[in-house]
Structure 1
């Protein structure tokens, strides 16, 4: 039975390295328009603000309009490709074990800018369909991260009360700050700025360290959960 506050996770770049699948999906859609592929590092730099921003930046990289009908058509073509692109995505080392340990005391939730269809497809591929008590995706609400509404909704759906957020990027840090939650930074993801710039409550490089880090952060930053 869970007794601690909710632990909410970002997905791409935090629990899983999905950049190879996202890269392949973007280039598949670009190829349909006979556009040359973009390099992995460039596509990786576009990840974090949702599918629309990802496609807009990918089109802009080829000098094409990053808005309007062309972007809408690209999104329509990209969405099913994105949902099916799961075979290159792997959890970061130690993630399943850390989630198992944390789930004994905490409800676990996801707050991601990835669309819900692509999120559920990936979770099913990983065998994580029942892993999380709540999932708020990039199209679950009118607002997306860094607006705090999705993170607040994830906490509420996981039972409410004290919580913290685990992510890998500037978007995640800003979201946690706006929602008033402690932020734990995974240093191995897709961020562009320094750890100091993101000012997390704590940071880590190995998921084996996360359960003890969560316990420490909860003791220092969160009031006790009722019950």
Structure 2
């Protein structure tokens, strides 16, 4: 019978926004502050939530377009930096781990799994967020897009995260919420699990994951299933 002990020595890589932490409230809040500074109307939370997860520039581009003022390419770098500064100042005012995250990470770490964050978010923002929501002690490393050879969906990002904790892609799983996570896992030769409660505009079942789960409490079972019964997918590296 498979148990958590089967994950001893395995590497589990986690996306951050929309997977571990519900960050949309603070990201939307920061966006609306920038819009107000530019004399633009605020956007409703539900209209912006699914814009989250593709990076600051993409969020600003989509947010400004939704507010009726397409982002000016020349002004974009300064606005992105201003957004990052605003977001960092309120990074966990309203953000919190999804239900079950703390319990599951504790169980996985106790079982001997190597835990790493693999996110397209900048590493400094990621570590600040993890510190603020008290998740940092669970992870051996945080690999943002700026520390990887390329960002997800490039498989080298997932592979770099696995390597950062001394793991091997032959005994690793990627947990995420988006097509970038599913493709990043597949391109690294790692089975991928997607959660259904994250930030994606497409039906999560259509994104190519090996498994879809509807509660974070199902992460251990999904990892055990994939690592004990399924061969790793073909690598795109």
TM-score (norm 2): 0.87
Q: Is the 8 A contact 1:145 1:172 kept in 2?
A: yes
Q: 1:49 aligns with which of 51, 54, 69?
A: 54
Q: Is the 8 A contact 1:48 1:171 kept in 2?
A: no
**Alignment of structure 1 residues 125-164 onto 2, 5 Å:** 125-141=132-148, 143-161=150-168, 162-164=171-173
Partner of 2:235: none
Partner of 2:215: 206
Q: Is the 8 A contact 1:50 1:138 kept in 2?
A: no
Aligned-partner Cα distance in 2 for 1:19–1:31:
18
**Following TM superposition, by how much is the alpha carbon of 1:209 offset from its aligned partner in structure 2, in angstroms?**
2.2
Q: Report the 3-state secondary structure (helix = DSSP H, G, I; strand = E; otherwise coil) of the residue aligned with 1:105.
A: coil
Deviations 1:137-180 (A, max 9, x none): 13324632222222111011011312110001122112112222
Partner of 1:118: 125
Aligned-partner Cα distance in 2 for 1:33–1:66:
11
**Alignment of structure 1 residues 155-194 onto 2, 5 Å:** 155-161=162-168, 162-194=171-203
Q: Report the 3-state secondary structure (helix = DSSP H, G, I; strand = E; otherwise coil) of the residue aligned with 2:135.
A: coil
Partner of 2:94: 88
Q: Report the 3-state secondary structure (helix = DSSP H, G, I; strand = E; otherwise coil) of the residue aligned with 1:8.
A: strand
Aligned-partner Cα distance in 2 for 1:147–1:63:
33
Aligned-partner Cα distance in 1 for 2:11–2:182:
17
Q: Is the 8 A contact 1:146 1:174 kept in 2?
A: yes
Aligned-partner Cα distance in 1 for 2:179–2:72:
24
Q: Is the 8 A contact 1:30 1:37 kept in 2?
A: yes
Q: Is the 8 A contact 1:7 1:166 kept in 2?
A: yes
**Following TM superposition, by how much is the alpha carbon of 1:185 offset from its aligned partner in structure 2, in angstroms?**
1.1
Comparing 19-28 and 47-56, the one that deviates more: 47-56
**Structure 1 residues 56 and 201 mapped into 2: Cα distance closer, same or farther (>3 Å)?**
same
Aligned-partner Cα distance in 2 for 1:114–1:60:
22
Aligned-partner Cα distance in 2 for 1:182–1:124:
28
Unpaired stretches in structure 1, ≥5 consecutive residues: none
Partner of 1:5: 10
Aligned-partner Cα distance in 2 for 1:40–1:57:
13
**Structure 1 residues 46 and 35 mapped into 2: Cα distance closer, same or farther (>3 Å)?**
same
Aligned-partner Cα distance in 2 for 1:206–1:150:
25
TM-score (norm 1): 0.90
**Structure 1 residues 130 and 67 mapped into 2: Cα distance closer, same or farther (>3 Å)?**
farther
What value does the CA root-mean-square deviation take over the aligned residues?
Answer: 2.0
**Following TM superposition, by how much is the alpha carbon of 1:58 offset from its aligned partner in structure 2, in angstroms?**
1.7
Work out whether 1:39 is the aligned partner of 2:56.
Answer: no
